[in-house]
């Protein structure tokens, strides 16, 4: 057993030390694996970053109420009488006797996407005084909050990163009304940072929405109160509503786009991996061929076929591991932290950053090592089965 280990270590050392002799072939394999890993990581980091932004938004302690079947805040409508009933539902938390219920309006306005200089859908959210009580981590980082009753807006920090038209101090025009941007806010990196916020009654009147809102957020008074709230509100024949925890709502919103990116990224990654595999097999077969006399010599002095097998396989794994590391570095240098935006499920732009995570990197590493493993095993079998006498004859 011990001698076997020593044999393997000796062969391994020879193989790895002789890598520079096959410099260009080895480099092309490393490069091919690196590109596979970088491409796959690009897609996975995109999906991961998008999901984090959206699902990081939802709170477990907040319920979100929409009109039945509306699927997104943009489509929903809730009339004033219905709002009253919803506020009084069981399970709604209270603060100083008043229900923690935030009726909100969600309208779409144009901004200019900096990257393409084309118009893009940005959400303008009308929020009332309770708006901040159903959200955590909201803070004004520049300027000040909008004054209630005035045509003032505050802009999310992420929105300002990707879009122009709403810089602090600027006056914007929606229809016949002029609005002033008076502040910039952050909200724990959540999707709300991709929004513009203004006072609810002002948005209602200037966008001709009367007293209707589109969505209601309710603070939950306890752990299991969502069920009570649901059974009370869904049983009411006069109301047609959907109720979710905010967390579930945003998880659902994220899934479509995230799945789409992954369904695109994985087949591409695997296809490219097959191309790289062809390269790896080629490199390893040439490596075995060029070392034919060396392997034969080792076999002749008593090394086992198994050590030849392990040596070749290890060489392939080392090459693919080097490629994988290079690929991760490329992805980290070029993709990680890039800010971008896409159209979310609410038909408005969601700003997010590419984000590498350990989980994502592990997935790409597995693909890379699979290339090394499959690309190494067949040539390794050939190395182990090599006929010693024949190898000496052909090696001139």
Q: What is the binding site for another protein (CB under 8 A)? A: 24-25, 27-29, 31-32, 35-36, 38-39, 42, 67-72, 74-75, 77, 107-110, 113, 115-116, 118-121, 174-176, 207, 212, 240, 268, 271-272, 274-276, 278-279, 281-282, 285-286, 340-343, 347, 349
* Min CB(23)–another protein separation in Å: 10
51 or 59: CB nearest another protein: 51
Distance CA 307, CA 299 (A): 9
* Min CB(349)–another protein separation in Å: 7
* Min CB(382)–another protein separation in Å: 10
128 or 323: CB nearest another protein: 323
Give the CB-side neighbour count of residue 96, counting CA atoms within 13 A.
Answer: 2
Q: Which residues contact 21 (CB under 8 A, 6 or more apart)?
A: 290
* Min CB(380)–another protein separation in Å: 15
Distance CA 74, CA 66 (A): 10
Distance CA 84, CA 72 (A): 21
Distance CA 277, CA 262 (A): 22
DSSP 101: E
Distance CA 126, CA 306 (A): 71
Distance CA 14, CA 320 (A): 18
Q: Which residue has the tokens 């490596």?
A: 287
* Min CB(384)–another protein separation in Å: 17
Query: Buried (b) or exposed (e) across 242-254, using 16+ Cβ within 10 A?
Result: bbbbbbbbbbbbb
93 or 322: CB nearest another protein: 322
285 or 392: CB nearest another protein: 285
**208 Ramachandran zone, left/alpha/beta (phi>0; psi -120 to 50):** left
220 or 356: CB nearest another protein: 356
* Min CB(137)–another protein separation in Å: 27
212 or 370: CB nearest another protein: 212
* Min CB(343)–another protein separation in Å: 5
* Min CB(54)–another protein separation in Å: 15
Residue 342: name the closest of 331, 330, 354 by CA: 354
42 or 58: CB nearest another protein: 42
Q: Which residues contact 328 (CB under 8 A, 6 or more apart)?
A: 37, 38, 41, 356, 361, 364, 365
93 or 109: CB nearest another protein: 109
- Using only the alpha carbons of the chain, give its radius of gyration: 30
DSSP 287: H
């Amino acid at each position: 057993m011990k001698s076997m280990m020593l044999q393997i270590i000796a062969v391994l050392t020879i193989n790895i030390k002789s890598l520079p002799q096959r410099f260009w072939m080895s480099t092309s394999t490393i490069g091919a694996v690196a590109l596979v890993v970088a491409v796959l990581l690009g897609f996975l980091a995109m999906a991961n970053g998008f999901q984090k932004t959206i699902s990081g938004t939802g709170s477990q302690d907040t319920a979100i109420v929409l009109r039945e079947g509306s699927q997104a805040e943009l489509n929903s409508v809730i009339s004033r009488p219905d709002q009253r009933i919803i506020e009084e539902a069981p399970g709604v938390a209270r603060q100083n006797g008043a229900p923690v219920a935030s009726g909100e309006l969600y309208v779409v306005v144009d901004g200019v996407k900096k990257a393409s200089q084309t118009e893009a859908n940005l959400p303008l959210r009308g929020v009332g005084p309770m708006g901040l009580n159903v959200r955590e981590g909201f803070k004004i980082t520049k300027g000040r909050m909008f004054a209630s009753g005035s045509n003032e807006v505050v802009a999310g920090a992420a929105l300002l990163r990707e879009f122009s038209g709403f810089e602090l101090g600027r006056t914007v025009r929606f229809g016949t009304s002029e609005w002033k941007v008076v502040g910039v806010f952050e909200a724990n990196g959540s999707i709300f940072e991709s929004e513009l916020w203004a006072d609810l009654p002002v948005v209602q009147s200037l966008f001709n929405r009367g007293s209707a809102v589109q969505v209601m957020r309710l603070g939950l008074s306890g752990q299991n109160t969502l069920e009570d709230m649901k059974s009370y509100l869904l049983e009411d024949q006069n109301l047609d509503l959907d109720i979710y925890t905010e967390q579930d709502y945003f998880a659902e919103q994220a899934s479509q786009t995230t799945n789409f990116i992954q369904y695109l990224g994985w087949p591409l990654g695997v296809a490219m991996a097959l191309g790289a595999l062809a390269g790896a097999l080629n490199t390893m077969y040439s490596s075995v061929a060029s070392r034919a006399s060396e392997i034969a010599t080792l076999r002749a002095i008593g090394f086992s076929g198994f050590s030849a097998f392990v040596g070749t396989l290890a060489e392939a794994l080392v090459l693919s591991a080097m490629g994988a590391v290079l690929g991760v570095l490329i992805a980290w240098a070029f993709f990680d932290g890039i800010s971008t935006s896409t159209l979310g499920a609410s038909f408005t732009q969601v700003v997010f950053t590419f984000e590498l995570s350990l989980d994502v990197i592990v997935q790409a590493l597995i693909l890379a090592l699979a290339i090394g493993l499959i690309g190494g095993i067949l040539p390794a079998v050939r190395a182990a089965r090599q006929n010693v006498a024949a190898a000496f004859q052909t090696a001139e």
